[in-house]
């Protein structure tokens, strides 16, 4: 299945770094209750795999993605853990080959015209653009999409509430990743009411942009 079919168009995807797997399930439920439809759990901590598996086994209603997947071995692990899709900051032939072999939905990353075109040649219409703001933000995405109109982007990195609506209104943006509405300090402290409020505010931005 194509990852584009798992991530709603013009949606916000929380990109989450989880240090304590015990926080995973209440976080997932908080986000789902706020109207969020998918989540990307980055493989940057020792707790990430346990958190991923906890959420997928609980059937929270979220489409669960594994982020920062950079090797075939990681791809196999997240698939076994029950992830619905994987996201990578870039791509390698080995990673793409494994995703195609496993028929596992992957959002590979691209930051140049050649990278975008090479991924399109392999059938990847949805591509990650990371780190979005340091690479030129929406202006760079628009420059890439102008001559390569079949690509759709999933930008993450440096995007905040004040930028989100502008990104989401652009026709080349399929979805948008962000972490501003799941602050690390709030998650570490278990402040799920605060996260719920920020997530609802973020979701209202997405709904407004989609409308």
Which residues participate in catalysis according to the annotation?
A: 40, 128
Max distance between CA atoms of the chain, in angstroms, equals 46
Of residues 91, 80, 79, the one with CA closest to residue 1: 79
Are 92 and 115 in contact by the 8 Å Cβ rule? The answer is no
H or E element in which residue 66 lies: strand 63-67
Of residues 11, 15, 3, 5, the one with CA closest to residue 39: 15
84-89: long-range contacts, CB 8 A cutoff, minimum separation 24:
84/6, 84/38, 84/56, 85/3, 85/6, 85/7, 87/3, 87/40, 87/128, 87/154, 87/177, 88/128, 89/128, 89/130
d(CA 50, CA 153): 28
d(CA 191, CA 82): 27
């Amino acid at each position: 299945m194509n990852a584009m079919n798992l991530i709603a168009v013009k949606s916000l995807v929380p990109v989450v770094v989880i240090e304590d797997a015990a926080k995973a399930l209440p976080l997932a439920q908080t986000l789902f209750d706020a109207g969020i439809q998918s989540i990307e759990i980055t493989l940057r901590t020792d707790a990430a795999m346990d958190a991923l598996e906890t959420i997928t086994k609980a059937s929270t209603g979220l489409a669960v993605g594994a982020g920062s997947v950079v090797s075939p071995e990681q791809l196999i692990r997240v698939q076994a853990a029950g992830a619905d899709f994987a996201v990578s900051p870039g791509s390698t032939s080995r990673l793409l080959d494994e995703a195609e072999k496993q028929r596992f939905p992957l959002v590979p990353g691209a930051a140049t015209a050649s990278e975008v075109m090479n991924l399109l040649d392999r059938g990847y219409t949805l591509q990650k653009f990371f780190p979005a703001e340091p690479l030129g933000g929406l202006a760079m995405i628009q420059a890439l999409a102008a001559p390569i109109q079949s690509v759709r982007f999933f930008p993450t990195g440096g995007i905040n509430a004040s930028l989100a609506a502008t990104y989401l209104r652009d026709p080349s943006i399929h979805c948008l990743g962000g972490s501003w509405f799941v602050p690390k300090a709030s998650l570490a402290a278990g402040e799920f009411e605060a996260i719920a409020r920020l997530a609802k505010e973020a979701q209202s931005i997405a709904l407004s942009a989609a409308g």
